[in-house]
């Protein structure tokens, strides 16, 4: 099992540790509910150094990105980030990812550079997938093993971090980034992105600088009640926002159109993997759709629970579920036949011999 440069720090803070994507990761420190509420109302720090990062650069780097991703990377200016996915050849999703348009100060004339940030469990799979499509004048570099990443999330993140950098954090727009000095560390990628819906930043540094960054962030955030946050709260936070989790809500067999990710599936940008399948789905419609739902019972829905209509007919399956700390009710996501996807539709979640009454709900569940 792999470790991040902060694993011993998490253990010293009495974190509950567990294996995740091959890494020994902190699941919680004080408790999921407490950590969740810290991010919603204050500021918390996640060690997400297990994520994967690839550099793609060259004269045809954009051509490769356009071929393997669903969104339109040609719209990216230097300093922009973009949510996208890697379609396979059958209309499914190899992974979802972030695409960063990097400054070109380390590129030769006529070259472009990007950073792709992929899920930890898919690093090798994604690398191999993109590599096999790299028939372009493009270099790929896997920096995952040398890249540390902190996500500092919450409404107080900007105030808590501003003393550490000359970059004007308050002026940064969502899904943009800057490279600058941060906590005395040069060339930090400061990204106005996150997976919580409560604002904040993601900070990319070399592994050798990660502990220094961690200590500086906590010192700067002391007066703001900053706390370490585990992956348990990361999951409840993202689910309240209706953000898809690879392996649960999206997979090699789910279409981004079915998953509500049509907004990152630009079928008019030109040729890319599965574009004809997505065009057909748009023209003819889809048979199943990812929906959010609220459970009217107190029991929490779980992954792979069946979903039935009110007459007892099987109509779908649960992909994610939790007890929402912000709403104090069970919520979930799942795929259902499109006829049952309208907001307010009554459904049942099959939990063993019990059927939990639920209704389709609009996401995000948490409105802030």
| 291 within some domain | yes
Burial of 111 (0-12, 13-18, 19+ CB in 10 A): middle
| 330 within some domain | yes
| 231 within some domain | yes
| 116 within some domain | no
Give the pLDDT score at 47.
98
- Does 28 share its domain with 162? yes
| 367 within some domain | no
* Distance from C-alpha of 91 to C-alpha of 284, rounded to nearest angstrom: 15
- Does 224 share its domain with 291? no
- Does 13 share its domain with 151? yes
| 128 within some domain | no
- Does 223 share its domain with 291? no
- Does 294 share its domain with 220? no
| 259 within some domain | no
- Does 153 share its domain with 220? yes
Number of structural domains in the chain: 2
Q: Where are the beta strands (DSSP E) in the chain?
A: 16-20, 23-28, 44-47, 52-58, 81-87, 93-101, 112-118, 138-142, 147-153, 177-182, 185-191, 200-206, 227-228, 288-295, 306-308, 314-324, 329-337, 346-351, 354-361
Give the pLDDT score at 303.
97
Per-residue exposure over 312-350, b if at least 16 CB sit within 10 Å of its own CB, e if not? eeebbbbbbbbbbbbeeebbbbbbbbeebbeeebebbbb
The answer for residues whose C-beta is within 8 angstroms of residue 215's C-beta and 6 or more apart is none
- Does 235 share its domain with 293? no
The whole model's pTM is what? Answer: 0.97
Choosing from 207, 240, 273, the residue where a domain stops is 240
- Residue 36: give its domain's CATH number: 3.30.1360.120
- Does 43 share its domain with 153? yes
3-state helix, strand, coil in the chain (%, to 5): 25, 35, 40
Choosing from 213, 240, 267, the residue where a domain stops is 240
Choosing from 240, 258, 274, the residue where a domain stops is 240
| 70 within some domain | no
- Does 28 share its domain with 150? yes
- Does 219 share its domain with 335? no
pLDDT tens, N- to C-terminus, the chain (368 residues) = 999 999 999 999 999 999 999 999 999 999 999 999 999 999 999 999 999 999 999 999 999 999 999 999 999 999 999 999 999 999 999 999 999 999 988 788 999 999 999 999 999 999 999 999 999 999 999 999 999 999 999 999 999 999 999 999 999 999 999 999 999 999 999 999 999 999 999 999 999 999 999 999 999 999 999 999 999 999 999 999 999 999 999 999 999 999 999 999 999 999 999 999 999 999 999 999 999 999 999 999 999 999 999 999 999 999 999 999 999 999 999 999 999 999 999 999 999 999 999 999 999 999 98
- Does 220 share its domain with 152? yes
- Does 18 share its domain with 152? yes
Domain that holds residue 224: 7-48+146-240
- Residue 337: give its domain's CATH number: 2.40.30.110
Neighbours of 159 (CB within 10 A): 15
């Amino acid at each position: 099992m792999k470790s991040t440069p902060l694993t011993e720090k998490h253990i010293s803070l009495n974190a509950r540790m567990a294996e995740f994507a091959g890494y020994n990761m902190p699941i919680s420190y004080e408790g999921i509910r407490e950590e969740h509420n810290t991010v919603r109302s204050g500021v918390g720090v996640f060690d997400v150094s297990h994520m994967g990062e690839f550099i793609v650069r060259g004269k045809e780097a954009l051509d490769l990105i356009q071929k393997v991703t669903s969104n339109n990377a040609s719209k990216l200016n230097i300093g922009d980030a973009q949510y996208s996915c890697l379609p396979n050849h059958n209309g499914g999703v190899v992974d979802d990812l972030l695409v960063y348009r990097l400054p070109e100060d380390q590129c030769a004339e006529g070259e472009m550079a990007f950073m792709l940030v992929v899920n930890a469990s898919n690093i090798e799979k994604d690398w191999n997938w993109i590599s096999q499509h790299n028939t372009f004048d493009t270099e790929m570099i896997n920096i995952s093993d040398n890249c540390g990443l902190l996500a500092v999330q919450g409404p107080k993140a900007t105030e808590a971090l501003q003393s550490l950098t000359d970059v004007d954090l308050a002026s940064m727009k969502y899904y943009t980034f800057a490279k600058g000095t941060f906590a005395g560390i040069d060339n930090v990628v400061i990204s106005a992105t996150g997976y919580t819906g409560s604002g904040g930043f993601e900070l990319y540094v070399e592994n050798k600088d990660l502990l220094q960054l961690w200590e500086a962030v906590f010192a700067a955030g002391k007066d703001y009640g900053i706390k370490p946050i585990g992956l348990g709260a990361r999951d409840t936070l993202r689910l309240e926002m209706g953000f898809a989790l690879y392996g649960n809500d999206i997979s090699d067999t789910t279409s981004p159109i079915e998953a509500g990710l049509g907004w990152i599936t630009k079928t008019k940008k030109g040729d890319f993997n599965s574009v004809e399948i997505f065009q057909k789905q748009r023209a003819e419609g889809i048979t199943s759709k990812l929906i959010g739902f609220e459970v009217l019972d107190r029991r929490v829905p779980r992954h792979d629970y069946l979903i039935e209509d009110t007459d007892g007919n099987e109509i779908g399956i649960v992909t994610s579920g939790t007890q929402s700390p912000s709403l104090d009710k069970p919520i979930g996501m799942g795929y259902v036949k499109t006829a049952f996807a309208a907001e307010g539709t009554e459904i049942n979640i099959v939990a063993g011999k019990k059927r939990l009454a639920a209704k389709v709900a609009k996401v995000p569940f948490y409105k802030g």
